[in-house]
Structure 1
């Protein structure tokens, strides 16, 4: 686009919800047509989400409808409505196909009864017109524009069969293609059902209190700071924080947890959650498009645009396949009569049969349908997989590395023991620590602050606080530099052997030890314990059964690491790791074991997660960083979803492989059968559209994989 045009049409990004997307190959052609429109810089069709994204100039819906008219692709009149307003069996395509079947049966009956040939031909021709009307309506414009999609090729094949007097076969082929089109509509909708169920989770209306007045508004009109009123049995329309009320909320839409979670004043809640038997007043904290559910839906849709590695092969193959088969059809038409003396009607029949298998529909749809089904199923069960490439990677993992705190354990450690040294006053030590750690968000820091609060200690004033990830923190208290953190970082070389022995005793008992010193003088040691999650042991056991090697990487001391590893059933662990050490450990494991995933929940794990083949974040609900930076997100703090993710990913890889092999074998077999003259029009339609329906149905099986 020229600079002048850019000045007239400033660049914008517009999203359109579509209906009528039933063919992946047709969707690709539609995308190319939209890209050619004046003012459009780029256009992307998301086949799984039935969505068109245009960058550049916004196009009116009428123009988009015109560009997609060749396959009945249209912009939804109401983007919030389900694209399938009427049942598939009441679609025009299904009704015409049913009418075609009745006419074929009448024609066969008339033929059996010895009716005049003109009556039989008339009935078969009526069946062709009825069954092939939709196909011709879409295919003829494509022929005039030299666009050889499936509708255009089928139109040529049926017209050719009529031209050489094969009335019965022309009628049956038109009918069978109508059946396959109807089945494609059904199976495509079925595959998209998991995503549609997400779109339907959050209410479109919300009852809010604003300036003392109750209003029933669309969610787009609700503002941050409004008070959302949620009655028993209602779904939350917005993210927010409870101001008043207590209740149990079913958060399955967000986290995949079917067990309701108790919530009270101050707790965070999510749009799409189902309220139990309490009345809640919730302060809205996010706009409609920023809610956790909206982000999940957006990321699931975007994930389907991130193509899996298998898709690259499919795209390359499909690019050359159709032109090659068209040339082969022409060669069959010319060579068979000229070289082998076959009559031209038979040669034309074989060429028409070959035309039917020229469109690689089954192959094109083989990968995206599987990805749509798998990613949608995962999202419904609280696992966000952010692309086909990450789905395939998860299915080929050999080792999974786990952070300890907040991942294998609850991440809510408690101070079990406080040991003071060198005559330090316990209350004074707690005041210093509370003053320093109140500025930190680290779980160990919060545990120490909670202990000080529990003993009624007033925090001391701390200045110039500085955190050191993986080590600890330091601050100025009463004019002196205090440091709190891991023994390796805090302790000086002058600490007595008895003190070191005491610390080792605590670590051997499985405690995490935090030391406090002032100017190289040890004041106190805090022994903290973190409880292992109930799901950790079972998750590790299932991963081992799946042939995956689990490893724990933690900043805790090796003795604590050994105790936790033994409790969860891990054979390999590495302790006392700084963030850069975790990164190095991941790289070493990748070299020795192959593909690796890193599971974590903190900033300390970010470098290791980025270096791994797959970064998996824990507890993504409400955590923007986890949602945006990782490849896979377990929305709840539930490690049992990890084996489910591995099973689903492996199943998806297997089904994609099955689909591609089946599609290729079917195509090559059909091409082979044309040379001895065994490929009939009926067999060709079964080979092409039957394969498309079968690979789609095979992909839908992924919806049945459950945690």
Structure 2
């Protein structure tokens, strides 16, 4: 499949029609026109000449070069504005001087204005009429021909101008949303400085391979995911995580493609080709996300198929029933029927969803929240229950020393000597605490691992034990030590006990450090309408209770195996729509069972591939914001549908007293289109009310 950019794609229903025609071509059955991103995907063996011919019938064209595309789009926009300006000016001048002109001249001027602003619509509508295909262009063409046939030149001209303006504004709204998305997608770097045998040369990023060394100067973008092999700097990772604060990087630190080196010079060893990098995957998923149809969009598209023929039937009834049954004037009711046709244009209705969806996905992506499709964006706004994994989600997943009970002043120095060379997470937590206290410690002479207990070591000729309770079973310690052990365990702490062959020197109470933002996030979630926040963990009940109380979740469940987490998620479905948040690896089964799987990512492949939504930051701070944006998208779509149908209903009711005119009909459709576009674009406006940092 090859991908092309389409210029001049301003109508969703037209895009669907063009796609149908292209699919009928040889090797065109897999073709897809992506209206939201204005792209065509098609088999390379399909005839491009015939594709261009089909697109041209609706005023669109294929563009392969980005610069060329912007030039064409700008030229087309200017052309539309010029034609509308000329026809509007001619219309106004004709009205002013109509009484001073010979009878035929005003007609010629009105016809000229109609031609300038509505010829494309007329040609497309006429072709559709011959094919018995009824869409917006067909309806407008019938209305224009009908108005001209009964001598309503002024009305027909105003209809053509207003419809042209409506099309222009409709395209402008969608283009604004597309440009916002395109701006987001431009973060990808284009070139890199590759170092080969000490020689530097600039190369395109797509030639970079794993283990290549690249040089990244101050202010330049890092070309792909990699590891720093030389240099120290701070890096702006906003393109990946949405976080604007710089992150310090030194040798062996991981970096993401697309992030910006703030100062200094870094040498980076590439770990992934750009196409496999976190940024490339994010950009690809964001682009794909624009085109997934939500249940609401699917309903609107299905509804529109029946809506247009229904309007045509109503129009026919308006034209014929009053004259036949109630003695109405044929000319007057024919005019009313034409106005009904224009009211029936489904533009605003079809446009009520896509701009809002693209805006919502773009806004979240800017904040480092990757939503994989409009359907997931819509679902996020309906969530009322969120289940959280504990380790690595509500907590940092890194043990730290929370409490120390010291019986002997040798405690810290002996712990440092024994744990210095250990890579065990608990040993690292103890060493961090020992280093902070600046206590001096010597090297241990001999270390022996005691399975299921801890370690045994010789320091200064004396044997010491560092481990759990089993490591000190041989000692007869007093009741005070046992009381302290029981007390620390009751607090949900993991114990590391240090002892010699006679006495306990002290106890380290270790816990998984709770994330600073977790408590605030829970408060915000409850404020914005999340009724139930549930913590699911495999840890024992004391630890679960402690964390739950500190972060403020509604309820918690402990001692859970992965399959038990799945069962809990299933039971939570009884309360409504459930989201599960985890690290994207261990919690994969629970993420899959939930209505919505949300992963803590920081750019990891597994998180991006597993969940429906990925929080690219390594914390929950932007979660309330993402939910608020999704709720706003859903509210905007509902409001748009109400406005689109409401304004049309009001216009249709005007036919009862016979007050509906052609220009009121067009204004009702245009007003709905403008309102729908503007309201949808408000989603792009940045607000930080629900962000927790």
2:567 is the counterpart of 1:567: no
Cα 1:448–1:139 change in 2 (3 A) is farther
Cα 1:432–1:267 change in 2 (3 A) is closer
Which residue in the other structure is 1:579 paired with?
A: 562
Correspondences of 1:47-58 after superposition (within 5 Å): 47-54=35-42, 58=45
Cα 1:214–1:122 change in 2 (3 A) is same
Which residue in the other structure is 2:78 paired with?
A: 91
Distance across 2 between alignment mates of 1:32 and 1:235? 42
Cα 1:161–1:290 change in 2 (3 A) is same
Which residue in the other structure is 1:6 paired with?
A: none
Correspondences of 1:100-111 after superposition (within 5 Å): 100-111=87-98
**Matched-pair contact (CA < 8 Å) for 1:229–1:281:** yes
**Matched-pair contact (CA < 8 Å) for 2:416–2:431:** no
Given candidates 126, 136, 146, the residue that maps to 2:132 is 146
2:299 is the counterpart of 1:313: yes
**Matched-pair contact (CA < 8 Å) for 1:245–1:281:** yes
Which residue in the other structure is 1:267 paired with?
A: 253
Given candidates 307, 319, 322, the residue that maps to 1:333 is 319
Distance across 1 between alignment mates of 2:546 and 2:382? 30
- TM-score, structure 2 as length reference: 0.85
Distance across 2 between alignment mates of 1:446 and 1:192? 49
Which residue in the other structure is 1:8 paired with?
A: none
2:333 is the counterpart of 1:352: no
Which residue in the other structure is 1:635 paired with?
A: 616
Distance across 2 between alignment mates of 1:445 and 1:152? 76
**Matched-pair contact (CA < 8 Å) for 1:88–1:185:** no
**Matched-pair contact (CA < 8 Å) for 2:636–2:680:** yes
Q: Which moved more, 1:232-241 or 1:400-409?
A: 232-241
Cα 1:694–1:343 change in 2 (3 A) is same
**Ranges in structure 2 where 5+ consecutive residues have no aligned partner:** 406-413, 436-440, 455-466, 498-505, 689-693
Q: How far off its partner does 1:295 sit?
A: 1.4
How many equivalent pairs are there?
A: 653
Cα 1:346–1:51 change in 2 (3 A) is same
Which residue in the other structure is 1:411 paired with?
A: 397
| SS at 1:410 equivalent | strand
2:352 is the counterpart of 1:371: no
Distance across 2 between alignment mates of 1:486 and 1:611? 37
Cα 1:105–1:265 change in 2 (3 A) is same
Correspondences of 1:282-681 after superposition (within 5 Å): 282-414=268-400, 434=423, 504-512=486-494, 527-548=509-530, 549-591=532-574, 593-601=575-583, 603-618=585-600, 620-681=601-662
Point out 4+ residue stretches in structure 1 off by more than 4 angstroms: 79-90, 415-419, 425-434, 443-462, 485-488, 496-504, 524-527
Q: How far off its partner does 1:207 sit?
A: 2.7
**Matched-pair contact (CA < 8 Å) for 1:194–1:380:** no
Distance across 1 between alignment mates of 2:428 and 2:596? 30
Q: Which moved more, 1:667-676 or 1:148-157?
A: 667-676
| SS at 2:200 equivalent | strand
Which residue in the other structure is 2:103 paired with?
A: 117
Cα 1:28–1:461 change in 2 (3 A) is farther
2:12 is the counterpart of 1:29: no
**Matched-pair contact (CA < 8 Å) for 2:147–2:335:** yes
Bigger radius of gyration: 2
Cα 1:132–1:445 change in 2 (3 A) is farther
**Ranges in structure 1 where 5+ consecutive residues have no aligned partner:** 1-12, 420-424, 438-442, 466-471, 475-484, 516-523
| SS at 2:349 equivalent | helix
Cα 1:68–1:461 change in 2 (3 A) is farther
Q: How far off its partner does 1:508 sit?
A: 2.8
Which residue in the other structure is 2:206 paired with?
A: 220
**Matched-pair contact (CA < 8 Å) for 2:387–2:533:** yes
Which residue in the other structure is 2:685 paired with?
A: 704
Q: How far off its partner does 1:539 sit?
A: 0.9
Distance across 1 between alignment mates of 2:593 and 2:559? 19
Cα 1:86–1:49 change in 2 (3 A) is closer
Which residue in the other structure is 1:174 paired with?
A: 160
Q: How far off its partner does 1:461 sit?
A: 11
